[in-house]
Amino acid sequence: MNQEFLLQLITAPVVTEKSSLAAENNNQYVFKVNNTANKAEIKAAVEKLFDVNVESVKTLNVKGKVKRFGKGFGKRSDVKKAYVRIKSGQEIEFISA
């Protein structure tokens, strides 16, 4: 797979209370990824970016909410999340601003 393509797959880490608990208890990290990405591509991208060994990848599609914007209605964008479990003894550090 192309290196530039792998770098564009992972959009952002998801830093929430639930994802922090998953990281502490299960060695599992959550990322927002490109909607067209599959599990093999996500695994390769995480291994390349963070230099860790990935055990498993679980994905889910989060449908965007229909919200009211002024007089009309609109829809937020759909998002794909990836729950990535890495081997024990390894970790991924996120720099918080």
Domain 3-86 bears CATH identifier 3.30.70.330: yes
In tens, the pLDDT along 39-88 reads 999 999 999 999 999 999 999 999 999 999 899 999 999 999 999 999 99
pTM assigned to the model: 0.86
Which of the two residues, 28 and 7, has the higher pLDDT score?
Answer: 28
E strands in the chain? 10-13, 28-33, 54-62, 66-69, 72-75, 79-86
Q: What is the pLDDT of residue 10?
A: 93
Given a cut of 70, whether residue 18 has pLDDT beyond it is yes
